[in-house]
Amino acid sequence: MSETSRPAFSKGVLDLAERFQRAVGHTELGSKVVRAFTGSTSIAYRQLDWFSAGVTSETRGVVVAPGDPPAGRLARNWNTAVIMACELEEIKEYEQEPDAKEAVAYISEDVVHVGTRPIDHYMFKQIEPGKAAMAMRVGRAPLQAMMGVYVPGERHFIGAGSTEVIDRVPVLHDLTINYPGVLLG
């Protein structure tokens, strides 16, 4: 277990930005502002609450997906997604931790960023017996990501060692056709 590297800005600023996003990002106006910069027009897209400051992590199962060089600078212009899957039993085992909730994480500049649903909704969709899936968009750089659970009270992420990339969808519209019910974070 290791604490993530310190970002280029202070923990206080990062904490404030995360709290602001979580508090305002789910209101009607806040949602429009967030979507203007990071949102997606895909019906599979869900705005996640993101955590990174002071998060400890067990980053098992990190997968690397190649970047999408033509992607725009803003996340709203990222139109390629990778579909990750992991063993459902592994997630259920980790969910035995008090307050644990399904989460995805990505690593950027040695900092682990953890995304969860704002309310205790499930994030992962069972796509075949014993396998759960979630999609994430890919920007210009390679995506280092994993599925797992987040324990908010401990600010701790546990990555699923069984995480694997099962597909790459170059057009977000095709995500809902090829993988109905799989959410895009």
If one counts the domains in the chain, the total is 1
| C-alpha closest to that of 166 among 107, 92, 78, 82 | 82
pLDDT of residue 75: 79
105 - beta bridge partners?
114, 146
| C-alpha closest to that of 123 among 145, 141, 150 | 150
Between CA 134 and CA 183 the distance in angstroms is 6
Q: Where are the beta strands (DSSP E) in 96-152?
A: 101-108, 111-116, 125-128, 131-138, 143-151
Cβ atoms 86, 61 nearer than 8 A: yes
The answer to whether residue 135 is domain-embedded is yes
**Domain interval for residue 116:** 2-178
Cβ atoms 149, 48 nearer than 8 A: no
At position 101, the amino acid (one-letter code) is K
pLDDT of residue 115: 94
pLDDT of residue 42: 84
The answer to whether residue 183 is domain-embedded is no
pLDDT in tens, the chain (185 residues): 444 334 444 556 656 666 766 776 667 777 677 666 667 778 888 888 889 888 999 988 999 999 999 998 887 788 899 999 999 999 999 999 889 999 999 998 888 999 998 876 789 999 999 999 999 999 999 999 999 999 999 999 999 999 999 999 998 889 999 999 999 98
First CA to last CA distance, the chain:
25
- pTM, entire model: 0.83
pLDDT of residue 4: 39
36's CB contacts (< 8 A; 6+ apart) are 76
pLDDT of residue 41: 77
pLDDT of residue 54: 87
The answer to whether residue 24 is domain-embedded is yes
pLDDT of residue 173: 86
126 - beta bridge partners?
132
